[in-house]
């Protein structure tokens, strides 16, 4: 088999940026994070550039000119949605789920998730000493977009006292009660681990209680850091932790500091779990190509490597189940979820 590397994701197919990959090119890269080919989240062939042009015909032309028999697309929700659109037009594609957010359906875990959790957990470990020494509430904000997988797993692994995830609406009063309770029993610090996609709840107390709506008058909104016009996902989340920190200080008088881990989560060496999963997914993807099972994606289910239709994987964003055994275990050891 001859392998052609497409550089910078779909950008490489649009602008015909490719290079042949041989054994020497990939030897030794198992320990590396990221990608040797580069990537881009601003190259949707069906809405390319600021003008949102449909350049899918160019993609097909370049695909044919390269004499490719199949395209293997590695990525998360955005990448796989585009792959599905190309499949509908007849392109032979096999998918591999790769995102630290772990929000792709029909697979237990995605590539990169475990490594991101490991980095976040180490950061939480390092925060404990300064939080305890200075008697502070420390908030660690983690990536994850609209789901709480990274925050939940890292929060539990790192011993977070409070964990906030998008799937569980929080009440600032509950958070403040918890940090004050801990302070009263001699625990003069609290570690809060939160996802960037939690909803910031604002109660308009200028309205009479009867006019605040069925939800108590809470206006839940995502905190958007900025928007990128030509991106496949234009919304950039981040910064909700600062708003929560101000509320905690105002309502409790306890000094509160914020750490936003940001893109540090995406760096470093992959964990052994991710290295093994990547090897298994790669082998499975080649099997799918040889069997001409196009339109399918590699998947990990109950410890077994299998495949599913890409369409089923992207049908719904995979969110944390509220009856998750991990949430149950965390509550069992006293973790507060702000609800």
Residues 249 and 292 in one domain: no
Rg, C-alpha atoms of the chain: 22
Please enumerate in sequence order all residues whose Cβ is within 8 A of that of 227, keeping only pairs 6 or more positions apart, or say none: 234, 235, 236
Q: 285 in a domain, yes or no?
A: yes
**Mean pLDDT over residues 158-168, rounded?**
94
State what percent of residues in the chain have pLDDT above 90.
Answer: 69
Residues 52 and 150 in one domain: no
CATH code, domain carrying 51: 3.40.50.450
Answer whether residue 214 shows pLDDT above 80.
no
Answer whether residue 217 shows pLDDT above 80.
no
Q: 337 in a domain, yes or no?
A: no
Instruction: Categorize the per-residue pLDDT at 5 as very low, low, confident or very high, splitting at 50, 70 and 90.
Output: very high
Instruction: Categorize the per-residue pLDDT at 144 as very low, low, confident or very high, splitting at 50, 70 and 90.
Output: confident
Res 227: pLDDT: 56
Residues 121 and 105 in one domain: no
Residues 142 and 183 in one domain: yes
Instruction: Categorize the per-residue pLDDT at 234 as very low, low, confident or very high, splitting at 50, 70 and 90.
Output: low
Residues 135 and 159 in one domain: yes
d(C-alpha 279, C-alpha 261), whole Å: 28
Answer whether residue 215 shows pLDDT above 60.
no
More confident residue, 200 or 197: 197
Helix, strand, or coil (residue 191): strand
**Could you give the number of structural domains in the chain?**
2
Instruction: Give the H/E segment covering residue 151.
Output: helix 149-157
Instruction: Give the H/E segment covering residue 120.
Output: helix 113-134
Q: 12 in a domain, yes or no?
A: yes
Residues 17 and 87 in one domain: yes
Residues 50 and 182 in one domain: no
**Mean pLDDT over residues 223-241, rounded?**
61
Residues 223 and 162 in one domain: yes
- Could you list the active site residues? 101
Mean pLDDT (the chain) is: 88
Q: What is the pLDDT of residues 83-134, one digit of tens each?
A: 999 999 999 999 999 999 999 999 999 999 999 999 999 999 999 888 877 7
Q: What is the pLDDT of residues 237-254, one digit of tens each?
A: 567 888 899 999 999 988
Q: 339 in a domain, yes or no?
A: no
What letters, b where the CB count within 10 A reaches 16 and e where it falls short, cover 127-154? beeebeeeebbbbbbbbbbbbbbbbbbb
Q: 338 in a domain, yes or no?
A: no
Q: 295 in a domain, yes or no?
A: yes
Q: For residue 84, what are the domain limits?
A: 3-111+270-313
Q: What is the pLDDT of residues 268-316, one digit of tens each?
A: 899 999 999 999 999 999 999 999 999 999 999 999 999 999 999 999 9
Answer whether residue 337 shows pLDDT above 70.
yes
Residues 203 and 283 in one domain: no
Residues 165 and 54 in one domain: no
Residues 222 and 125 in one domain: yes
């Amino acid at each position: 088999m001859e392998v052609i590397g497409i550089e910078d994701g779909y950008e490489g197919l649009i602008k015909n940026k490719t290079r042949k990959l041989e054994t020497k090119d990939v030897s030794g890269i198992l320990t590396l994070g990221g990608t040797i080919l580069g990537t881009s989240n601003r190259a949707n062939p069906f809405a390319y550039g600021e003008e949102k042009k449909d350049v899918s015909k160019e993609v097909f032309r370049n695909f044919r000119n390269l004499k490719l028999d199949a395209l293997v697309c590695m990525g998360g929700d955005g990448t796989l949605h585009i792959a599905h659109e190309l499949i509908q037009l007849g392109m032979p594609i096999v998918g591999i789920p790769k995102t630290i957010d772990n929000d792709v359906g029909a697979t237990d875990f995605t590539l990169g998730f475990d490594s991101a959790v490991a980095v976040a957990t180490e950061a939480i470990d390092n925060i404990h000493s300064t939080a305890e020494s200075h008697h502070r509430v420390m908030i660690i904000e983690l990536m994850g977009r609209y789901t709480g997988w990274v925050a939940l797993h890292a929060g539990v692994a790192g011993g977070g006292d409070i964990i906030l995830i998008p799937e569980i609406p929080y009440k600032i009063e509950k958070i403040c009660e918890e940090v004050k309770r801990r302070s009263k029993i001699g625990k003069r610090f609290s570690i809060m681990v939160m996802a960037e996609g939690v909803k910031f709840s604002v109660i308009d107390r200028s309205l009479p209680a009867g006019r605040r709506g069925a939800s108590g008058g809470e206006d839940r909104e995502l905190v958007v850091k900025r928007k990128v016009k030509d991106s496949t996902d234009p919304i950039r989340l981040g910064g909700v932790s600062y708003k929560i920190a101000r509320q905690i200080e105002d309502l409790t008088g306890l000094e509160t500091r914020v750490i936003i881990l940001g893109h540090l989560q995406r760096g470093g060496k992959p964990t052994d779990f991710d290295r093994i999963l990547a090897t298994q997914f790669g082998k499975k993807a080649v099997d799918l190509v040889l069997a001409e099972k196009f339109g399918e994606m590699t998947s990990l289910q109950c410890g077994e490597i299998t495949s599913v239709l890409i369409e089923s994987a992207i049908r719904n964003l995979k969110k944390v189940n509220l009856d998750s055994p991990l949430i149950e275990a965390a509550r069992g050891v006293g973790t507060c979820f702000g609800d």
